[in-house]
A and B are shown apart, each in its own frame.
Chain A
Amino acid sequence: MAEYAGDALMICKAGFVYSEDFNSYRFRDDHPFNQLRVTMTKELLEVEQALQAEHFLKPRKATDEELKLIHSSKYIDAVKRASNGLLTEDEGMEYGIGTEDTPIFKGMHDASALLVGSTLTAIDAVLEGKYEHALNLGGGLHHGFERKASGFCIYNDGAVGIEYIRQKYNYRVLYVDTDAHHGDGVQWSFYDDPNVCTFSIHETGRYLFPGTGNVSERGLKEGYGYSFNLPIDAFTEDESFLELYESAFRDIVEFFKPDVIVTQNGADAHYYDPLTHLCSTMEIYERIPALAHELSHRYCEGRWIALGGGGYDIWRVVPRAWAQIWKVMTTNKPFAGSIPKSWKEKWQGKSPVELPDTWQDPSGIYKPIPRKDEITEKNRKVLEKSMQFIHNQKKYNNFT
């Protein structure tokens, strides 16, 4: 096992879960959720020679039994019927299927079960000890509920995966969700479970879906104190985002002392993302995996499983952001400099926007935010409130 080496280069053994069939999870041609971004990321990594044959892990499909770790039989049955066009519109509404967000498509059960299975493949790769880390960019569908599809998610692979870890390995799991939307499905699945700690940093739900993820959502019964939320203001920029993320992640990992870390790496907090209002740049997508990497080595003997998630500028943002996860996971150093020409040439024709030339964003991609100071101040208050629970305990422990 590699020792964490600070800023130095280090080589970690990691697995990359991938199948062309991820692309079968496709609602409609004009739907913002598009798994083509996974293929684009994979090819970008291949061109950079950061991804070779030995890294690939072939995903399996999740069984019904595994889906039932989180989802109800009736719901799974409804998804199966919808797959074959046998679900009526009224029946679908009850399960959130056939809405504008999660329309019915042929084969939706198989496509969704594959995404769950791919997360289980990543988990087994790490927890059976063959790999230190694993990345499954096909997963991270954090809005799926026990008996309801929502927010582009049918089955919740992260929640199924965490329950699978609990039952098969009995490890304490820290789930860290940096998608711009609140990781509600996973949070509610383990809201009363003290062995699963959920931490989500996201744009406040005042405007943005799903609307939840308040600081006051701390868990229930035995799970009280094991749910953390940092709802940050619209127009938050890199500095403030990273200040909150790094400070909270360090405090939470020290408080909870997990055996394994599962991260949901949605890439929709970028300024270019069409569905959200945050103002991040590529900077956060270097730091987000870097800290997860560091802390997984310090606290979990490296056990870290990273998943995909949201990300709706699939051209300029997602491939770069997700490639950096893999790069940091395997070498502890992000890419820098130019984006390979051959990759850009291949995809430019399909893209409605100019693809980026460099791994980092140039400065000035957006106009200065007039209320930056207020936003930073408000975000700090959010951090303070969210961490109060941990800080109070620390104080108490120091006194006794």
Chain B
Amino acid sequence: MLVEEVMKKDVIKMAPTETIGKALKLLNEYHIRHLPIVDEDNQVIGIVSDRDVRDASPSIFENDPDPEELKNEISSIMTSPVITVHPLDFMEEVASIFYEHEIACVPVTKEDKLVGMITEKDMLYTLIQLTGTNVQSSQIEIKVENRPGMLPKVTQVFGQRKVNISSVLIYPYKPDSRYKIIVFRIQTMNPMPIINNLKEVGYEVLWPNMPGMPS
């Protein structure tokens, strides 16, 4: 899945000379946690998180109605340089960036201009799409030998039964590395005929898969 398919295009952004007070207002108004800072050419020159802004704000125990701190320029607290991604990058790469840099948001730039934002929440949305749990389906798990050609063999059964697959995931079988588990979400309420076909050809089907329980 490409970044441009997932990113938010209506980006709330700020100029470096605007105040921290304005940032606080924007974060609250739009329920967001990051603000990119752009120059007059729409190039990303910094980013602030809600935490940066709060650190720079007066304590809630102060009763000053018009605190001086909030009048400082946002550029004084922004992080730069900024890690960015391209619209044609993959979401998998964004996931690695979030994980490695321990961040939760990246601006998307094209020809150095800001065109979108990707956040942790967009990443989770992608995960939900990938797992296929957002559409009506049943889930079955199949234990297969870890060697080439297994997936097409298994999926053939679904095709013959005219059952649409909404997602496929493959993960390692922890107790024994010679095997893998293929997880299918299939669009049927009655997976029994498929399960029987798979068992007939010798696959181990886990439906449901619960440790300590018979399957």
A residues at B contact (CB < 8 Å): 32, 99-101, 143, 150-152, 181, 184, 205-212, 234-235, 274-275, 277, 367, 369-371
Contact = CB atoms under 8 A, between A and B. Distances in A.
B161 to A, nearest CB: 6
15 contacts: A32-B192, A99-B162, A100-B190, A152-B189, A207-B138, A207-B140, A207-B207, A207-B208, A209-B136, A209-B137, A209-B138, A209-B189, A210-B189, A211-B136, A211-B138
Contacts of B34: none
Contacts of A210: 136-137, 189
Q: Which of B137, B164, B185, B190 has the most A CB atoms < 10 Å from its CB?
A: B190
B190 A101 contact: yes
B136 A212 contact: yes
B212 interface: yes
B155 interface: no
B212 A370 contact: yes
B10 to A, nearest CB: 22
Contacts of B139: 206-208, 211
A181 B191 CA distance: 14
A371 to B, nearest CB: 6
B113 to A, nearest CB: 36
B190 A208 contact: no
Interface in B131-155: 133, 135-140
A209 B136 CA distance: 6
* 5 cross-chain pairs, A with B, having the tightest CB-CB distances, nearest first: A210-B136, A207-B208, A209-B189, A151-B189, A209-B138
A377 to B, nearest CB: 15
A103 to B, nearest CB: 9
A152 B138 CA distance: 14
Contacts of B163: 99-100
A277 B213 CA distance: 11
A275 B140 contact: no
Contacts, number: 75
A235 B136 contact: no
Contacts of B190: 32, 100-101, 152, 275
Nearest to A367: B214
B213 A143 contact: no
B212 A371 contact: yes
B210 interface: yes
Given A32-B190, A100-B188, A371-B213, A208 B161 contact: no
A184 B164 CA distance: 19
A205 B140 contact: no
Nearest to B138: A209
Contact of B136 (A100, A150, A370): A150
Q: Which of B136, B164, B187 has the most A CB atoms < 10 Å from its CB?
A: B136
Interface of B, helix, strand, loop or mixed by DSSP = loop
A274 B192 contact: yes
Nearest to B214: A367
A148 to B, nearest CB: 9
Nearest to A145: B136
Interface string B10-33: 000000000000000000000000
Contacts of A277: 207-208
A377 B34 CA distance: 39
Given A99-B162, A211-B138, A211-B139, A150 B208 contact: no
A275 B136 contact: no
A184 B189 CA distance: 13
Contacts of A274: 192
Given A207-B208, A211-B139, A275 B162 contact: no
A211 to B, nearest CB: 5
Contacts of B189: 101, 143, 150-152, 181, 209-210, 275
Given A99-B188, A100-B161, A143-B189, A211 B137 contact: yes
Contacts of A100: 161-163, 188, 190, 193
A369 B214 CA distance: 9
Interface in B166-215: 185, 187-193, 207-210, 212-214
A210 B188 CA distance: 8
A206 B141 CA distance: 11
A101 to B, nearest CB: 5
B115 to A, nearest CB: 31
Contacts of B209: 207
A68 B147 CA distance: 52
A283 to B, nearest CB: 22
A151 B136 contact: yes
Contact of B213 (A99, A181, A212, A370): A370
A371 B210 contact: yes
Contacts of A181: 189
Contacts of B187: 99, 101, 150
Contacts of A212: 136
B138 A235 contact: no
Interface in B101-157: 133, 135-140
A275 to B, nearest CB: 6
A209 B188 contact: yes
B56 to A, nearest CB: 35
Contacts of B140: 207
Contact of B133 (A205, A367, A370): A205
Contact of A206 (B188, B193, B208, B213): B208
